A and B are shown apart, each in its own frame.
Chain A
Amino acid sequence: MRLLDISLNNLRRRKGRMLFLSLGIVLGVATVVALISITVAMRADLEDKIDQFGANIVVLPESDELALSYGGVTVASAAVDVKELTMDDAARIRTIPNKANIANVAPKLIGEVDVKGSSAMLVGVDFPSEFFVKKWWKLDGEAPSGPDEIIAGSAVAAALGLRPGSQVVIKGNEFKLAGVLRQTGQQDDNAIFADIGRTQKLLGKPNAVSLIEVSALCRACPIEEITKQLSDIMPGAKISALRFAVKSREETVSQLMSFSIALSIIVVIIGALIVFITMLSSVNERTREIGIFRATGFRKLHVIRVILVEALIVSFGAGVMGWLVGMGGSWLLGPRVANLDVNVEFNPWLTAGAIGLSILIGLASSAYPAMRASKLDPSEALRFI
């Protein structure tokens, strides 16, 4: 029989007690693992959702003169001789090296037209892309179902007395107003939206594009990288990243992360405390046993070894258990509770960290009681004599 056998026999013959001892660690580790893996998944999920929520890159033709303004972005005047963007440019955006990060491309052609005797802004769009990027759009009526159907911003509709179903004549072409946008508080309230192909014909600018709004998923790569790749394929264009969009995204995500880190720290401290107290009381229970060890000639180090080896085995097992429970929990609960579209992923670092943390807690919390107990005079430990 060796010292290791003493530890193993204790573990083997008192399984219930060991399970109870490891419960604190299992719960602590499981909570931290679940918290971290759900947060990581939530972060990915959130980043994607924020990135889809509005464009974060705008492509404009290079120009000296500034005239029309749309969506806070100044659009080069069509009157000036500039090198206009084309539908081909829009198509090429999906060919950059980081094309997987391009969630949406929304080309637009903007012009001024006469409707019912007043001048109005006509924006030619690709409706599916536009609805994708403008998730906040609410329509009274319906979405356009063909190139003969258009929608109008709330202000224009009010000014011109238009309502869903109205006939609208633009440059001699008849359109049906499928829906009216509810107030957005933005430029869109003052615009009429039509299919971009039809708009190009109406304005006599085949294939022309005034600006392209791009939604990039910037989780895996910096937005600067994508901007640069876009400049490479469209040397004549001005590419601007909408900093505020990126910035607010970063802030939201970092808030989420610090919340989860703070919560993890609290959980770890509580878990460590529980384990420490359990270990302490378990060593107190074992004082007599330790007295017997010492009386038969065990050195302090022998006693400490018996106790620490036990703690090592228990906390390793508890770490693995905690990791399994935590991962299982977040796999099961993540999609339901946190409404995640992104999967909780296996992360080897998290696994190693969970087991390492568990061993650290187990050893740290049993080292002190073990040392204290081994220091006792055997006669003190055996006071029942």
Chain B
Amino acid sequence: MGLIELYDISKLYQSDGTEVRALTDVELSIDEGELVAIMGPSGSGKSTLLTILGAMNPPTTGQMLIDDIDVYRLSVEQRADFRHEYLGFVFQQLQLIPYLTAIENVMLPLAISKHSNKEQQLMATAALERVGLGDKMKRLPSQLSGGEQGRVAIARAIVNHPPIILADEPTGSLDTHTGEEVMQIFKDLNEEGLTILIVTHNPENTRYTQRTINIRDGRIVRKGATKCA
């Protein structure tokens, strides 16, 4: 059994009285230590799938187990605790708190932990150095480039050492070179044992991943196309 198991997941959105079917009967199993790309056209349901995997978007039907925990049977607050322990998120853009410096943004998940201030500083510094931003820790997001902001977000996702990282178009707004740098960071993290799922438009990015999940109209069309890393 995989680290993440999705059984028969469907998601219906209600908007202005009409129903939008974003996901239909999704079955998926992801093992610990996998690096997975999720691809598909715009509106196909990639972000929906990622937020369901992220324990923050209850599916209409179906069940999801992560580490044998039936995530959507937890209460809302238990799910918050679950996210804190298991998951790190990297979003496409506007994901940093504008009035917190780079290191404070990275410390955000630690603010509700028991770590002392000193421990928090050490953990955040280590995470920022890991993504190559050790020299820009005191800057506000507005004083960082897009690629640097993306790397701060990755540092925040890994600072708490969660076993799973979820990223939604982390390279979407970056130039080719910076995008490759970011993908390389994910690959390095994966080699250290983290399970990583990345939503992407860019087929180039599958060079870094071991497996690609293709979504079309809310359904998984080809599953398990595995490549060697």
Contacts and interface: CB of A to CB of B under 8 A. Distances in A.
A294 B95 CA distance: 12
A298 B99 contact: no
Interface stretch (B109-117, B125-133, B188-196, B209-217): B109-117
Nearest to B105: A292
- Using C-beta atoms within 8 Å of the partner chain, give the interface range for chain B: 35 or more
Interface stretch (A5-13, A50-58, A258-266): A5-13
Interface string A289-301: 1001111111110
A245 B87 CA distance: 80
Contacts of B83: 295-297
A34 to B, nearest CB: 34
B205 interface: no
A383 to B, nearest CB: 9
Interface string B73-112: 0001100111111000101111111011000100111111
B112 A14 contact: no
B108 A292 contact: yes
Contacts of B100: 6, 9
Contacts of A14: 99
A2 interface: yes
Task: Indicate the size class of the contact surface on chain A.
Answer: 20 to 34
B97 A292 contact: yes
Interface in A347-385: 377-379, 382, 384-385
A299 B77 CA distance: 6
A73 interface: no
Contacts of B81: 297, 299
Nearest to A375: B76
Interface of A: 1-3, 5-6, 9-10, 12-14, 288-289, 292-300, 302, 377-379, 382, 384-385
Closest 9 CB pairs of A and B: A297-B84, A379-B51, A379-B57, A378-B56, A13-B99, A296-B109, A1-B107, A297-B83, A10-B99
